[in-house]
Each structure stands twice: as C-alpha cells, then as structure tokens.
Amino acid sequence: MTLEQHISQLAKSAVKALYGVDADDSQIQLQKTRPEFEGNITLVVFPFVKLARKAPAQVAAEIGEELVKSDIVAKYNAVQGFLNLVIDDAFWIKQLEAIDKDDNYGRFKCPNGKWENEKMPLMMVEYSSPNTNKPLHLGHVRNNLLGFSIAKIQEANGWKVVKTNIVNDRGIHICKSMLAWLKYGNGETPESSGKKGDHLIGDYYVRFDKEYKAQIAELMAKGLDEETAKKEAPLILEAQEMLRKWEANDPEVRALWARMNEWVYAGFDETYQRMGVSFDKIYYESNTYLEGKSEVEKGLAAGQFYRREDGSVWADLTKDGLDEKLLLRSDGTSVYMTQDIGTAKLRFQDYPIDKMVYVVGNEQEYHFKVLSILLDRLGFPFGKELVHFSYGMVELPNGKMKSREGTVVDADDLMDKMVEDAREISKDKVNTLQGITEDEANEIARKVGLGALKYFILKVDPRKNMLFNPAESIDFNGNTGPFIQYTYARIQSVLRKAEKEEKLSTFNFQLSTKELDVIQRLTDYPAVVRNAGDNFSPAVICNYAYDLACDFNSFYHDLSILNEPDAAKRALRLLLAKNVAKVLQSAMSLLGIEMPERM
C-alpha cells in the first residue's frame, strides 16, 4: 500500500472519530508538502471545515493530533487549512524493504495473481506505418519510439497490448519506384549494389521524381501550363497505368511488386531490430484495401455515400461540420481512407479489442475524425471509440547532419551518427575501465547512443513539435539518457565493490534528508507509471527517471556508502542504491532504453 493510501485511510478514521461522519474519497485531498515547510505529504483540510464548524487551523490541528497516534505519522505542522505530515522513519524503511522484495515493483498486479471472472482488457496500438517506396526517416523514429513506449507503459498498467503496423505497400507512390527501377535500374539488387533494400528502392523513388520534374519542365517549355504538364508527363501516365494493372492483378506487375517489396521488408526489419521496436501483427494495405472497397460499396448501396458523374464515390460529411471525402477514385482505385476502413474491420475481427490507439502525427487529425465518423456510419460499434494519439513533428537543427535524399533524415544514418558520437564522447571514460574489450566498448557505445536518441525524443511532451539536437542529447551531465545510464552504471560499480550484500537487521538511527528524498521518490514510482498510462505520455517516465537520478547523485555526493563505518547505515545505503538501480532500469525499459552495467 502506498503512502497516499495509508494517509487516506488514517484521515478517514480521524474524521470519523472527531466529527462522526464518513469522509468519501473526493474529500481526501493529498499533495506534496511545499519545500518551505517541514513534511513529506500534506492533507488539505478545507473539505472538513464546514462539517466541523471550526476554523481551518483548528481542524488541521485536531486531525493532526489524531494522525500522530498512528505508527506512520511522526509529527505535524498546521498552516491554515493545510496539514503537513512528517512520516516516521520506520515507515520509510518498511517501504524500501517492500520495494526490494517486489520483482515487479510499479507494475499492475492482477487480483490474486490472475484475471478472474473477466478477461484481461486488450489494447491495440498501431505505429510506424511506413511506405514501401523509401527507408524509414526521422519522423518514423519518433513515431516508432512513441508507439513502442506507449505499448510498454500500457502493459505495465494491466493491459494486454497487441502492437500492430500497417504497411502501405500499394498505390501510386509504390508504382513510381517500381517504374523507375524498370527504366533505369539495369537489374540492380541489394546484393549487387551492397545497399539495404529500403535504401535501394528509395533511391529509385528519388530518381522518378527527378525524371518526372524534367519531363514537366520540357512540356512547359513547349507551352503547357504547369498543372497540365504534371498530368500529361509520360512518366506519371505510365505510373498510373501500372497502378491500374496492379489492381487488375497483372502477373508481371504483381511479380515485380512482390520482389521489390521483399527487399524493402528486409531493410525495414533490420532498422526495427536496431531501433529496438517490434510488432505482434503486421497488416498490409494490399490485403486490407479490398475489404475497405467492399464496405464502401455496401455504404453506397445503403445510401450512406454517393457516386459522382465521373464514377468516383464520396461521403458527404457537411452535417458533421466537415466537408466531402473521396472514398473511391473515378477509375475505381482506392484511397488511404478506404484502406483504413478495411484495416479497422479486419483488426476487430482478429482481436477482441477494448481500445484501439493510432499513433500518427498531428497532420492526420482530420483523417481520423473522418475515419471515426465513417466507421460509425457503416455500423461498426467501435467507430466512435478510436483513439488518435496525435504527436508533433520532429526536426534537426540545420546543418547538423546530412540526409540521404537531401530532404529527410534517414533513420539508419541518424542511429549511425548517435552511436559514433557516443563512442567518441565516452572513449576516455571507457578506456578507464579495466579489462574491457573492444566489443564491450562498442556495445556500451550502442546502448548510450541509442539511449540518448530515445530519451531526448521521448522526454518532450509528445503533443508538441520538437527540435532534436544530437549534441545536447548525448551530454553526460544534463537531462539526458546518458546521464541516467551513467547513474545506473555508477550504482552497479558500487554494488560490485561491496564485499557482500549486507542485511538491514537493525535500525537505530535517524534518516538523513538526502536518504529520505531518495526513498520517497522511489515510493512515487507506481503512481508515475499510472499517470503515464492515463495520459499516454512517456515524458512522465522520463521526467521521473531524471529526478530519481538527480536525487541519488545528490545523496551519493553527500553521504558515503562503502566507507560508512556504521554497519546499519551502510546496509541501508546499499539497499537504497540497489533499488534506485532497479527502478531506474524498470523506468528506462518502459522507454525501450537499455542500461549498460559499466560506463
């Protein structure tokens, strides 16, 4: 039971004993004691003033006198309607020992260790959603890190989570890279070029754009306006014809499509593995768009949608405060919305989903408003319950890093750069470690570099746009992943140097302020995990991990651990250090960050 739960029970008992009434949960208001007052937790007594018919200060004093009768509250001070409580040291020691014994501290625990009489709630989290015409980029990095962390946090809060990815593997953009490879590739493959498959295909998507722009310029030089030139350029007409053949199951087009997509999937898998993210189920637009088309046709027959003279199918959403939405083009080909309708239908057929979460950038907020309305209109009960986790854009400072295509920052290049920077910055530190091999040094650089990347991106409120600065992210002294990793590694070093684990058998001394700060911070962890889950915010975990690391470093600076002559104090401090490391590792694992044992 947490400190808040203990104090809540004691406060209810005190109010009952003093004033003869049963206080409800809404009347028990607890908060951190302000730093200028002595105390660990503060009870707001204003909700009890009216029923006590006494001044706030008197009510606070009366409740305080009742609370100190317990073995939890050592003393109190009343400031108007605020009752600041000083918790007995023995309570903190018991809390620390309980944390040490709990292998899943901070995580949700099922009743009696298992779900009884009801199923475990299931949440599906969709993230990544790449196109198979180019490699993953910086935007995908934030998307993947957020989606994976949200899934981990929700698992810690008692959800069964299915992590899904929808791969956009069909459409005009895919045909562009296919056509460019046919025209200019000369049979090039990942094996012959030495390139990752996703990078190879991305190069041909860029090549298409280059040749297409040249054709537009040539047509405009002949007198066509830009809009007409864009529509009549031979390359775009060929790409559109290839898309029609694809949807008609042309065997040659389909064979080329399957071959090139396999190259891309292999490249994606390598990037995902390196990034440390994974999926339980992958859906492909090529398998879901027909389901969507079928649902659109049903909606058309039922009068939910309408067909225009050119044959295209639309939804009129003006009564919902929106506009009209295209669902099928005039040539019968589908759009993203069609695919998402089909994907949603298949997902709810495949899984008993209680909550569906889409991790998609804020530029798609309108899209998901429309999707929710259309699914509801088509009769799917889950339509109104979809959650769009909308996050902001992420950019790099100009000139900080070159991109592969000149317009976006490639995810693989970014990870290479982060690991390289970590290796250079930590070289002196790593070289001071006795007996470390080059492979171990490289592994430390990998964990630190990727930890810096992940933490810097996740510590920002996900709903805000952000600027990712590689140099700032890898600072060992700031609010960074490496700072927290270094704190963890420092604790591991202390624990290794301890001759043996010392048991805290006796407690006959007063805890210092520094020790209390760390222990109280440790007891906050379960509430922090719940808060992060309620708000879908990995940033809450980041801020907590940083604060805990700061508290420990302050304690470590002021108080000796291994050189403490008092055996009881030494045992306490070793126990405290051990559990700081335990909670830091737990918190960082929710962010997908690995912790090096040595740095």
Question: Are 151 and 297 within one domain?
Answer: yes
Does 100 reside within a domain?
Answer: no
Cα–Cα distance between 510 and 512 in angstroms, integer?
6
Are 121 and 356 in contact by the 8 Å Cβ rule? The answer is no
CATH of the domain at 38: 3.30.1360.70
Are 267 and 292 found together in one domain?
A: no
| This prediction's pTM | 0.91
Element (H, E) at 54: none
- 134, 403 contact by CB (below 8 A): no
On the CB side of 219, how many CA atoms lie within 13 Å of its CA? 19
Tokens of residue 325, six digits: 């939405």
DSSP secondary structure letter of residue 474: T
Q: Does 94 fall in a domain?
A: no
Are residues 596 and 444 in contact, defined by beta-carbon separation less than 8 angstroms? yes
pLDDT(405) > 60: no
Binning pLDDT at 50, 70 and 90, where does residue 506 land?
low
Q: What is the mean pLDDT of the chain?
A: 92
Encode pLDDT of 269-299 as tens digits. Answer: 999 999 999 999 999 999 998 999 999 999 9
CA distance linking residue 247 with residue 250, whole number of Å: 8
Are 60 and 39 part of one and the same domain? yes
Q: Return the bridge partners of 75, or none.
A: 86
- Looking at the fold, whether 153 and 267 belong to one and the same domain comes out as no
Instruction: Tell whether 83 and 140 lie within a shared domain.
Output: no
Do 387 and 472 share a domain, yes or no? no
- Torsion, CA 504, CA 72, CA 101, CA 110, rounded to 10: 180
**Residue 407 clears pLDDT 70, i.e. is over it:** no
| 480 lies in the same domain as 500 | yes
Q: Where are the alpha helices (DSSP H) in 85-128?
A: 89-101
Tell whether 113 is covered by a domain: no
- Full domain range(s) for residue 25: 3-87
Whether 152 and 69 map to the same domain: the answer is no
Q: 539 and 419 share a domain?
A: yes
Name the one residue in this structure whose structure tokens are 């196109």. 131
Would you state the pLDDT for residue 403? 46
What's the sign of the alpha-carbon dihedral 462, 394, 587, 351?
Answer: positive
Give me the percent of the chain exceeding a pLDDT of 90.
Answer: 81
- Alpha helix locations (H) across 334-379? 336-350, 365-377
Domain boundary among 277, 299, 333: 277
pLDDT tens digits, 18-35 = 999 999 999 999 999 998
Contact residues for 172 (Cβ-Cβ < 8 A; gap 6+):
239, 240, 243
Same domain, 439 and 317: no
**Residue 373 covered by a domain:** yes
Same domain for 463 and 579, yes or no, is: yes
| Count of domains for the chain | 4
Summarised one tens digit per residue, pLDDT across range 102-116 is: 999 999 877 665 655
Residue 282 burial (CB count, 10 A): 13
